[in-house]
Chains A and B, each alone.
Chain A
Amino acid sequence: MIGLTVILLCVAALIWKTLLPMLRRGEFRDGVVFSVMLAGGAFFSFFAANLIPFPAPLHLLVAVYKPFSQWLFSAMGWKS
């Protein structure tokens, strides 16, 4: 609960201090990128703040490079 509150406060502060002035100046592209990053940051921070398990992005890296890695380690006789 405290974690979520702090995250929401940070998001609110960033919107107040950065996003709103950007939109007032007509910097809409910056505003969109800022908003997407802020939403992503709030989303992932929620999991970190509340210690909720989340699928590790490194699993994607493993999925992409596993076939090549296994082939190379096997071909070169390297310790795995």
Chain B
Amino acid sequence: MKNLLEKGRISTRQLAILIVFMTVGDSILILPSLTAEAADQNAWLSVILGGALAMPVLWIWGALARFYPQANLIEIVQSLLGKWLGGAVALYYSVYFFFVAAGLIRELGDFFTIQILAQTPLRAIHLLLLFVLAWGLAKGLEPIVRTGELFFPWFLLMLTALIVCLTPNLRPVNLKPFLSEGISPVLHGSLYVLVYPFAELVALLMVLPYVNRKANTKRDYYLAALFGGLIMLIIVLFSLLVLGPFLTSNQVYPTYALAKKVNIGNFLQRVEAVVAIIWVLSTFFKTAIHSYAFLLGMAETFKLQGYRRLIGPYVLLQFGMAYIITPNFTFYTDVLYKYWPFWDLTNALLLPLILLAAHAAGRKRTAVKA
């Protein structure tokens, strides 16, 4: 089934860059504190374990994309589950993408108003982001992804510079004692690694049909996710090595606190804005893809003529929802710690497994009839 709502096509390299941006996403700021809260000084082991656990999830999505190469997630759902159940699940997925985007916009606003622009109203930050988002969405998938391609070298350069400048502050003693409380805290920490960098990549199932597939697409799909995971491992490791497990788990944004530690010869200092730039870039692309997934999902579910016409109402909806989604930052962090991971797992693991099972059952029925 050829999709008529999206005419753009992206290359494998662009897909890989998108995966790296989305894997890093907001995780670069929230993951160190979540994993350190769960696993203390062994949070880096959680990242390795979480990354390993994510590979089968990526394989499940890859399998769905292989069986339905020209269909996005919504089309797959409608094709496998029928008109009414498929429509309901398709709408549910669209709502999920909407709320992930709302959460990301709120996180960005909270970060800026807590750390950098303390006097600026939250809604002003949201509006600025929403205008840029709307502009990108109006242009379409290809320009968004090409913009990511343009920014990617700068993103890597700033990240590398941050890591290099922090190396004088490393204290390996912060990683001890090793596995003092057993494997259970590491498993706990790996839950957050599994969901926030990786499980939320499920939105890519809305983008995969528009990739010009080559022989190396499958390899690059996994490699990009692994590279994103490697970046997260380095960030969490450096947070533990520089700040220690207590500060990492208790800081609101440990990566920002990490950047404050950079001080080369009392000359190169106060480079926290670099972390802000890195994070805005990665979070923007994650938000853009989730927003795109929502709009395309709504257009597919209701069989509309196009998705761009929904951008205006979407901006209004997000302006409101990004504000009301949580009453305060503390409640939001509590939800991220205890409840959101299971919603992510439902949408990224359970439902795709059900779709694969439905596909297998459909094939068996066809084989029996034959």
Give chain A's interface residues, CB within 8 Å of chain B.
7, 10-11, 14, 17-18, 22, 27, 29-30, 33-34, 37-38, 40-49, 53-58, 61-62, 64-66, 68-69, 73, 76-80
A interface: dominant SS = helix
> Bound complex: CA of A64 vs CA of B341, how far in Å?
12
> Bound complex: CA of A39 vs CA of B92, how far in Å?
19
> Bound complex: CA of A64 vs CA of B344, how far in Å?
13
Counting from the closest, the 7 A-B pairs by CB-CB distance are A44-B320, A41-B316, A48-B323, A37-B313, A41-B317, A45-B320, A38-B313
Contact B123 A48 (CB under 8 A): yes
Contact A33 B310 (CB under 8 A): yes
> Bound complex: CA of A42 vs CA of B343, how far in Å?
27
Q: Interface 1/0s, chain B 330-346, versus A by CB < 8 A?
A: 01100100111011000
**Does B304 belong to the interface (CB within 8 Å)?**
yes
Contact sample, A vs B, 22 pairs, CB 8 Å cutoff = A10-B316, A17-B312, A29-B302, A37-B314, A38-B313, A40-B317, A41-B314, A41-B315, A41-B317, A41-B319, A45-B320, A46-B320, A49-B123, A56-B327, A57-B321, A57-B325, A58-B332, A62-B338, A62-B339, A65-B339, A78-B188, A80-B338
Contact A41 B313 (CB under 8 A): yes
Contact A58 B320 (CB under 8 A): no
> Bound complex: CA of A12 vs CA of B306, how far in Å?
21
CB-nearest residue of chain B relative to A45? Answer: B320
Residues of chain A within 8 A of B188, CB atoms compared: 76, 78-79
Contact A61 B335 (CB under 8 A): yes
Give chain B's interface residues, CB within 8 Å of chain A.
37-38, 99, 123, 126, 184-185, 187-188, 298, 302-306, 309-310, 312-317, 319-327, 331-332, 335, 338-340, 342-343
Best-surrounded residue of B99, B315, B316, B326 (most CB of chain A within 10 A):
B316
Cβ 8 A contact of B325, one of A10, A56, A64, A77: A56
B interface: dominant SS = helix
Known: A30-B302, A49-B319, A68-B342. 16 other contacts (CB 8 A): A14-B312, A14-B316, A27-B305, A29-B303, A37-B313, A44-B323, A44-B324, A56-B326, A57-B99, A58-B331, A61-B335, A62-B338, A65-B342, A65-B343, A66-B338, A69-B338
CB-nearest residue of chain A relative to B332? Answer: A58
> Bound complex: CA of A18 vs CA of B91, how far in Å?
23
Residues of chain B within 8 A of A57, CB atoms compared: 99, 321, 324-325
CB-nearest residue of chain B relative to A17? Answer: B312
Contact A48 B331 (CB under 8 A): no
Residues of chain A within 8 A of B185, CB atoms compared: 78-79
Contact B342 A37 (CB under 8 A): no
Contact A38 B335 (CB under 8 A): no
> Bound complex: CA of A36 vs CA of B54, how far in Å?
37
**Separation in Å of the A20 CB from the closest CB of chain B?**
12
**Separation in Å of the A14 CB from the closest CB of chain B?**
4
**Separation in Å of the B319 CB from the closest CB of chain A?**
5
Cβ 8 A contact of A58, one of B187, B335, B342: B335
Contact A69 B309 (CB under 8 A): no
Cβ 8 A contact of B38, one of A46, A62, A78: A78
Contact A61 B343 (CB under 8 A): yes
**Separation in Å of the B30 CB from the closest CB of chain A?**
15
Contact B313 A40 (CB under 8 A): yes
Known: A62-B339, A66-B339, A80-B338. A33 touches B319 (CB 8 A): no
Contact B320 A43 (CB under 8 A): yes
Contact A53 B304 (CB under 8 A): no
Residues of chain A within 8 A of B126, CB atoms compared: 48
**Separation in Å of the B145 CB from the closest CB of chain A?**
25
Residues of chain A within 8 A of B316, CB atoms compared: 7, 10-11, 14, 38, 41-42, 44-45
Known: A56-B326, A78-B184. A73 touches B320 (CB 8 A): no
